[in-house]
Amino acid sequence: MNKRMRLGALVLAVAAVFVLLYAETVVVKVKTTAVRKEPKFTSAVVANLQAGAALEKTAAKDGWFQVKTKAGAAGWVHSSAIDTKKFTLTAMDKTMKTEATAGEVALASKGFNKQVEDAYKARNAAADFAAVDRMEALKALAADIEAFLKRGRLGELGGAR
């Protein structure tokens, strides 16, 4: 019990220091994403980001976040690429639960990961991971998607409504 209280106090202290040092910081949760000039997928890419990259969030609009990278590039990133789990006053009353969602991005590599997949593969030879790798290589090109939408007179690619 004492240990729990000590941990709780530590979390509060850490959260407070975090605010002083890194207010408004958000973190990329997908493998790669892009900061774009405008909040739409057809807009020009300003910077490419990888999982764990920290960004300064300055505004939100229609499912997009306006952000600034550490290198100083500014633009828009879609919210689905960003970890939006938050601290709230209510959650702070249940410190432990708040923590539960907080460390995920940085620690994701210690969950179900490549190491676990390799161990699974060794046990399950029939599972066709080579076919999955070929499927992953099928990524559609941005230019093709844009041409497809234009030719089919389809949407503006604003992302989430």
Partner 1 sequence: MNARPPRALPALFFVLAAALALSSCSAVQTGADVLAAQGKISEADRDSLVRTTQALRSSFDDITEEEEYYIGRAVAANILSRYKPYDNAALTRYLNVMGTAIAYASDRPETYAGYRFLALDTDEVNAMAAPGGFVFVTTGLVKLCRDEETLAAILAHEIGHVAARHGLQSIRKSRLVDAFKVIGSEAAGRLDSAELTKLTTLFEGALGDVVATIVERGYDRKFEYEADALAVAISSSTGYSPAGLTDFLAAMDQTKPAGPATGWFKTHPSAADRLARARAAIDALASPPAKLDVRTARFAEAVKGMK
Q: Which residues from 22-51 bind partner 1, rule CB under 8 A? A: 22-27, 29-31, 33, 41, 51
Residues of this chain, 104-123, that bind partner 1 according to CB under 8 A: 104-117, 119-120, 123
Cβ–Cβ under 8 Å, residues 144 and 45:
no
Grouping H, G, I as helix, E, B as strand and the rest as coil, residue 127 is coil
Name the DSSP class of 112.
S
- Which of 5, 18, 50, 61 is the binder for partner 1 (CB under 8 A)? 18
Query: 75, exposed or middle or buried, with CB in 10 Å at 0-12, 13-18, 19+?
Result: buried
Closest by CA position to 37, among listed 75, 86, 77, 90: 75
Site string for partner 1, 71-100 (x = CB under 8 A): -------x-xxxxxxxxxx--x---xx-xx
Nearer to partner 1, 29 or 69 (CB): 29
Q: Does 59 bind partner 1 (CB under 8 A)?
A: no
Q: How far is the CB of 141 from partner 1 (least distance, A)?
A: 8
Closest by CA position to 71, among listed 94, 93, 91, 47: 47
Residues binding partner 1: number (CB under 8 A): 92
- Between the alpha carbon of residue 122 and those of residues 46, 109, 134, the distances in Å are 41, 20, 19
- Which of 14, 37, 50, 61 is the binder for partner 1 (CB under 8 A)? 14
Q: How far is the CB of 47 from partner 1 (least distance, A)?
A: 15
Name the one residue in this structure whose structure tokens are 């070929």: 134
Q: Does 11 bind partner 1 (CB under 8 A)?
A: yes
- Which of 5, 16, 61, 70 is the binder for partner 1 (CB under 8 A)? 16
